[in-house]
Structures are given as C-alpha cells and as structure tokens.
Structure 1
Amino acid sequence: MRQQPRTDSRGILDPARLLRQVRFRRHLPAETLRPWVEHYWLVDWELTEPFEQHVVPHPAVNLVFRRDDDEPESAEVAGVGRELFSIKLTSTGRVSGVQFRPGGFHPFWRRSVAELTGRRWPVKSLADRWPPAAAVVAAASGGAGSRVAGHCDGTDAQRCRALDDLLTTWQPTADPVTDEVIGLVEEIRADRTVLRVDHFARRHEISVRRLQRLFLDRVGGGPKWVIRRYRLQEAIEQVTSGPPDWARLAADLGYSDQAHLVREFTAVTGVSPAAYARSVRLAHPIP
C-alpha cells in the first residue's frame, strides 16, 4: 500500500506553470480508504488575471468540491475523461478533490462505471439514482445525512478529514473482482513494457474478452485505451523534461512509428510534441 502520495506530474501539461499560479498538493486518505482512493488533491488560488490549465486525464473517477470567492460550495462526480480537460480559474477559490484509483470508484458507485465516462455530473443531479448523492443534497439543504458543506474550508488536515468522513459514511466494501482490476491497472501504469492487450491477457491467463468486460465495468475504459493513455502520459512527461529521441521514444512506448506517436499526442493535447516541447522551453528557459 502506498505510504506517500504520488509526486509525478503525469498528465499535467506544463506543471511548472501550474505550480507558479496556484497552490497544488496531494495527500493520502485514511488508511482504510487507500484500497480504492489514490489521493486527495487540494488547490487554492488568488489570481490577478485568469489562468487556464490543461490536463490529460488519468483513467480514474474524481469527486470534486469547489468554492469560488463567496459562492456556495459545489460538488460533482467527474467520470473517466477521454478528452483533454481544460479549466479556467479566476479571482480566488479552492478545490478539494478525490482521485479514486482506476477501478476504485466501483465500490462506491456499485454499478458500471462506464455510465460516467466522458461526463461530469453535478452531485445533485445524481440524487435520484445514487444514495450517497441524495445524502449530499439533503445535508447541503440542512436536512438529515452526513455534513458535506465545508470540504473546501480549513487547513489541509481539516479538509482531508472531511473527505475521509464523507467517504467512510458511504461504506465501501472489499470486492475481489474490483481488487483484481485495480491490480491489473496498477501493473499497466508501472510496467512500461505492457503495450498490447493480448500479451497482457496471456500473462494473466485471462481472455481478452473478459479483460475488456472487466475494464469497461470497473474502470470505465477498455484495456487498450488504458494502456495507450498511460504510455501517452509518459511521452508528455518525457517531453516536458527535455527534447527526447522521438523515434526511440515511440518504439519504447509501443507506437508503430514516430508518426503514430505524433498523431496521437497531437490529437489528445491539441499540439504536436515538438510544438509542446518548444512552448515549455520558451516558458521556462534553462539559465
């Protein structure tokens, strides 16, 4: 079990610029929640001009609480995002977010996670189909249920404790199938030699069809897409670190050739790898 939150910047386009504009940090959840929750992510900002951030999403569901200026706190469930995610921040605000491990939202949702893929659902819109959402809405309106207002208030410790309390009241239960899927996705993320679904299925003595069903139901995206997403995030991270050998990088990450890498990178991020590398270098010149 992870003892420290991740420190990588995978998926975050131009992470140095993000850290100059906002306070961004990650914290681990309570130990009982770690089988399903990757980390909590907290963001605070005080801006004199608008700031837009772009992220290539992980294959994970997020629960996001946000407060802007003096507005009431809002809450939404963000399903697995297949497209580039962009957000514009202005003035002052705070976010307290929960990133579930890929597959880890299923014990809370208890249905196919694919229903959420590619969509961002205000929690109040889920109240008639998801009991935890009904409790959130009731609490926010002063009715019975767990207190949910204030997840963006207080110190980091207080915000994390509020998230711990909320998720614990939703009573997730261990499920061997979910545990299996979480382990499979973690292997894909950590082992960059995983490049093909059929090879991966054979390694685990599981049929490709069953692997596809499990991933769609528990993760919200198929195994081929999950593999490609993690390899693309590696490419982005390497480009951010400095101009790579494009042909070698493409081969290492399982692309048929350099042109294939360029096409996928450009389709997801909106810019070519070379253009992205240039923009990062211009924004952060080496002294």
Structure 2
Amino acid sequence: MPTDRLGQTRQLATTSEYGVLGVRDVDFTLERVPVSADLAPLVERYWLVSWDLPPGRRASVTLLPHPCVNLVFDRGRLAVSGVGSSRFSYAYEGAGRVFGVKFRPGGFLPFLGAPVAELTDQVRPLSALWGADAEVMAAELAAARGLDELVAVAERWLRARWPGVAAETAEVGRIVRTLLHDREISRVGDVCARFGISPRSLQRLFHRHVGVSPKWVLRRYRLHEAAARLAEGTSGTWTEVALELGYFDQSHFIRDFTRAIGLTPVAYAEACRSRQAPVSA
C-alpha cells in the first residue's frame, strides 16, 4: 500500500473527500493526512482547517457531514462530534485553525462502548469520556506548532486509549466501503443480498455502530458526489446523474438534493460557477 507523510498508510477509504459545499479553499485551507497503519481499522484520517482573514472580514463554510464521528479540537477545547444528519455552517474571522480526527463509520463504537446513535446530532466534551486526560491532550494540541505535531499528539493518545477491533466492527467497515465504492449497490436490499443479512439486522447494526441508517449512508454518499460534480461543472445531464447515482428518476434525485443541500441542482451549480457561497445551514 502507498504511504504518505509520517509513515501513514493509505487504506481503502470508507468516506469520500467530498462534503464541503460550494467552491473549495475560498478564505480557508483544508489539509488531510492519512493515519498510521495500526490505527487505520478505526480511524479514517486527520484534517486541519486553517484561515487568516484581514481585519473586519468574516467568512463561513458549510458542510454536509459524513456518517462519521469526529474528535474536534477548536478554540482550545476537545469535543466529540457525532454524525450530523443535516448540513451545518461554521463562521470564522481573524486567524485560527480547527483540527480533527475523523473516525471510520462504526469506528468510534469501541471507544464509546455504547450505541453511536446516542451521539447523532450531538457534540459532547471529550472529558465526559476520558476525564482529566482530555484536558491534558487539549493542552498538548494547543502547543503543537503544525499539522505534523498535531497528528503526532493525536496518534499517541489514540494508541494509549486503543480499544481493539471486534469482528462486528470490521464487518460494518466492509459494508460501508461497499456503499461508498460499489455502484451496483443502489438500495438497502442490495446490501442485504451481498452480505447475507436481513434488513432488520442491518438496521440494528448501523444504529449501534454508525448512528444512522444504511439507507441514509448510501444516499449521503451519492449526494456528496453529486454536489462535487456540480461544483466542478462535470455533472452531465440530470438524467445521467440520477441514473449513475442510483436514482430511478430525475425527480427523486432533485428532491433529495434540494432537501439536503438547500438549493436545487441548477441553483447550486450556478452559485458555484459564480463562486458565491451557495448555501448556509
């Protein structure tokens, strides 16, 4: 497998690099780093958003979240951010940075020890899980001078708290990878047939490990790709996009896109072409 900085190994992704709505890298910089091989079964990647705006200028970025739990260090505080069911906006000014650890879908359950659905649409202080250790880790992250040092701190603490990987967790990872990468999977029934699992069992598995339903994950991944293609101006016709993303018809695609993004596909593509901030939460 190819390697990257700090010896991290690139594993087969369980989440895409989509999710930032509109034109990327306007007023901010987003960096992503893969994890070391021993942590990859549960952790997808690390990310750092940084900005340096002139005095008096404010900006915001809107995201359509992945089916992932993130450990987020922002303004000196460490928090656990559960899966967000809706888009959200983050406003910023001056100079600053936000660092995060993105767990794989299902990857946070071994750390939490409870159904991940309890965290959906929730943000909780890490101290509620790790106690005083969370404050020590936050202090070390605050002192880190750059992305390499931030990653080194995060990896040291993840290893110290490493819970191991159960067979069920690994199975969830295989299912999620299939939802992301396999275009022959267009409905939950396809997943059940592929993995020999009943719809009810699959639903329970995702409630406990991922925090949202398998149908939600499949739809979110397809909408991420649609938004990225529209932003890049490579969408093709609506019928082609709808069919390629697993929709039976154009109207269902437009309905789902508008509900999730806040604009019709046409309006979103036009906002991206004009480099406007197309949506907000």
TM-score normalized by the length of structure 2: 0.88
- Deviation larger for 249-258 or 2-11: 2-11
Q: Which has the higher contact order (CA 8 A, sep 6+)?
A: 2
Residue of structure 2 equivalent to 1:269: 261
Residue of structure 2 equivalent to 1:101: 104
1:251 positional shift: 1.9
Identity %: 39
Find runs of 4+ consecutive structure 1 residues off by over 3 angstroms: 1-9
Tell me if 1:150 matches 2:136.
Answer: no
The correspondence for 1:257, drawn from 228, 249, 255, is 249
Is the CA contact 1:13–1:56 (under 8 Å) kept in the aligned structure 2?
A: yes
Cα distance in 2 for partners of 1:4, 1:151 equals: 24
Q: Flag structure 2 segments of 5+ consecutive residues without an equivalent.
A: 3-8, 277-281
Cα distance in 2 for partners of 1:96, 1:133 equals: 20
The correspondence for 2:92, drawn from 89, 92, 112, is 89
Q: Which amino acid aligns with 1:22?
A: F
TM-score normalized by the length of structure 1: 0.86
1:266 positional shift: 1.0
The correspondence for 1:50, drawn from 38, 48, 58, is 58
Tell me if 1:39 matches 2:37.
Answer: no
Q: Could you give the per-residue CA deviations for residues 217-251 of structure 1, whole angstroms, max 9, x where no partner exists?
A: 00111111111111111111111121421012112
Cα distance in 2 for partners of 1:34, 1:9 equals: 16
Cα distance in 2 for partners of 1:57, 1:208 equals: 24
The correspondence for 1:282, drawn from 250, 274, 279, is 274
Q: Could you give the per-residue CA deviations for residues 176-204 of structure 1, whole angstroms, max 9, x where no partner exists?
A: 00010011101111112211111210111
Residue of structure 2 equivalent to 1:70: none
SS of corresponding position for 1:149: helix
Cα distance in 1 for partners of 2:132, 2:219 equals: 36
The correspondence for 2:160, drawn from 144, 163, 169, is 169
Residue of structure 2 equivalent to 1:229: 220
1:98-247 paired onto structure 2 within 5 Å: 98-124=101-127, 127=128, 130=129, 132-137=130-135, 139=136, 147-152=137-142, 153-242=144-233, 243-247=235-239
Q: Which amino acid aligns with 1:112?
A: P
Tell me if 1:21 matches 2:27.
Answer: yes
Structure 1 residues 251 and 133 mapped into 2: Cα distance closer, same or farther (>3 Å)?
A: farther
Cα distance in 2 for partners of 1:101, 1:240 equals: 25
Q: Flag structure 1 segments of 5+ consecutive residues without an equivalent.
A: 68-72, 140-146
SS of corresponding position for 1:13: coil
Cα distance in 2 for partners of 1:190, 1:133 equals: 38
Residue of structure 2 equivalent to 1:79: 82
SS of corresponding position for 2:141: coil
The correspondence for 1:63, drawn from 43, 50, 71, is 71
Is the CA contact 1:9–1:237 (under 8 Å) kept in the aligned structure 2?
A: no
1:57 positional shift: 0.6
Is the CA contact 1:37–1:98 (under 8 Å) kept in the aligned structure 2?
A: yes
Cα-Cα RMSD: 1.9
Q: Could you give the per-residue CA deviations for residues 61-101 of structure 1, whole angstroms, max 9, x where no partner exists?
A: 0000013xxxxx11111101110021101111111100101
What count of residue pairs does the alignment treat as equivalent?
A: 264
Cα distance in 2 for partners of 1:44, 1:54 equals: 15
1:9 positional shift: 4.1
1:8 positional shift: 6.0
SS of corresponding position for 1:63: strand
Q: Could you give the per-residue CA deviations for residues 119-178 of structure 1, whole angstroms, max 9, x where no partner exists?
A: 122334xx2xx3x245314x3xxxxxxx43131421221110001011112122120000
Structure 1 residues 228 and 178 mapped into 2: Cα distance closer, same or farther (>3 Å)?
A: same
Cα distance in 2 for partners of 1:166, 1:273 equals: 42
